[in-house]
Amino acid sequence: MNPPPKFKNHHLKGLQPILRVMHDKGFSAERCLSGTTLDVESLLQDGQTLSLEQEFTIYRNIQKLDKSPELGLELGQVFELQNYGVLGYAILSAATVAEALELVADFGELTFSHFKISIQNIDDLAGFVFAPAYELPADLLQIYSDRDMSASMTAFNSFSMQKQQATRIYLMHDGNGDQAFYDRFFNCKVSFGQPYNALLFDPDLLQGVLPQRDAQAAQYLRKQCEQLLQSFSQQGGFIDKVRTLMLAEPGQFPGIKTLAEKLHLSERSLRRRLQEENSSYQQLLNDIRFELAKQYLDAGLSIEQIAELLEYSETANFSHAFKRWTGLSPVQFRKQNAIN
């Protein structure tokens, strides 16, 4: 139930380019967000994040809507440096390609990636390596790998203001037999079934001087990245602690007063801490109930049993809440998932 320990909730800004692509394909944001507690309005809220479970649900939705095996490559092409906020501007102000890539490696958690990013030398080539930070679901490995490698190539070309030539691409998935397509897309040889994803290039490119370099801005923006990363780490720890306490006794969710006592905080302080991190007791409770509801439906429990386990006073109240979250009744949701 809890996300992997290294996962930091991603900012909703990371969804906006994806939803634009899907909109252009004729798929509404509502359909992409189905099965989460998110709505279109929440995308406009400052500082709003989405959980690991929510993001996985959205990516599964878009894979069902657009079954093209090359969807991840297409999604990666729409990520511009500006989408990464302060990190994107720090990269643009770097003095050299090497300095820009070091920023990405140091602050990879400020991107929308599920991989740990590093710079390595591989077979006499410089490598922009994406290694698994935690185990990704098998059905999402290809779309995330393709998206991140395509986005890396897009960003690489963007900050250097010229088209760079990758020498070799490594991908963790099997490529679905599309060797020729991938070779054409990246304009180089692609190797599948690798232990990590990587973009490999001539080491001489690292010394390339960037056209928008600004030493003063670079120093300031790096400090901003450090502060942002620190705030993300603090946020993830506190929210995870609250969620763990709320899940400590299945079927018995502690009230906010009890939670505050367990955390050695006043109820007012707890509400303030959650608000500062763009959350609330009710939002966390709704998210937990929704994730558990999906698990219970998959396990074949009756609607009455699920309502009781989630502490709804009446079955109808659970059904109404579930329909608000998904647009479907629990019975309809179970049938749809069984079909898919």
pTM, full prediction? 0.72
Name the residue among 90, 145, 154, 82 with its Cα closest to residue 117.
Answer: 145
pLDDT at 35: 87
Check if the beta carbon of residue 104 is closer than 8 Å to that of residue 171.
no
127: which strand partners? 120, 200
pLDDT at 48: 64
Check if the beta carbon of residue 303 is closer than 8 Å to that of residue 332.
no
Check if the beta carbon of residue 150 is closer than 8 Å to that of residue 77.
yes
Cβ atoms within 10 Å, residue 28: 13
Can you give the length of the chain in residues?
Answer: 340
pLDDT at 329: 92
pLDDT at 233: 60
pLDDT at 159: 73
pLDDT at 291: 83
**Tell me: the pLDDT tens digits for 250-294?**
678 899 999 998 888 899 989 988 887 778 899 889 888 888 888
Q: Average pLDDT by consecutive 10-residue portion of the chain (340 residues)?
A: 50 84 95 86 68 88 94 94 86 92 90 91 91 90 97 83 79 94 95 96 90 89 84 67 79 88 88 83 89 84 90 92 89 77
